[in-house]
């Protein structure tokens, strides 16, 4: 699964040609969650509260790039790296 970004120990990934709805995977230690790209709702899993807040802040800053990445993944095209949370 291609890695889109990494910050503060959090890894953001997206599978190629994954199922709908458009989403990304966030991993922090042994915890994982899945976030809808369009609504930024958590649709699976759970991260510790601080990590979850950082992921949501990052996702809101890069929602357009995440939507582009989803389209590229559906078309089996390369995924661009997305800047980490600063």
Tens-digit pLDDT profile for residues 34-55: 999 999 999 999 999 999 999 9
SS3 13: strand
The whole-number pLDDT of residue 86 equals 81
**pLDDT level of residue 17 (50, 70, 90 thresholds):** confident
Question: Is pLDDT of 1 > 80?
Answer: no
**Whole-number Å distance between alpha carbons of 38 and 66:** 9
The whole-number pLDDT of residue 6 equals 98
Calculate mean pLDDT across residues 18-46: 97
Return the percentage of the chain with pLDDT > 70, whole number. 100
């Amino acid at each position: 699964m291609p890695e889109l970004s990494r910050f503060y120990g959090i890894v953001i990934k997206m599978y190629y040609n994954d199922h709908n709805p458009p989403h990304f995977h966030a991993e922090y230690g042994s915890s994982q969650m899945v976030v809808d790209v369009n609504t930024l709702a958590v649709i699976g899993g759970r991260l510790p509260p601080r990590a979850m807040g950082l992921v949501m802040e990052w996702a809101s800053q890069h929602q357009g790039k995440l939507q582009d990445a989803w389209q590229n993944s559906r078309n089996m095209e390369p995924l661009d790296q997305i800047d980490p949370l600063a």
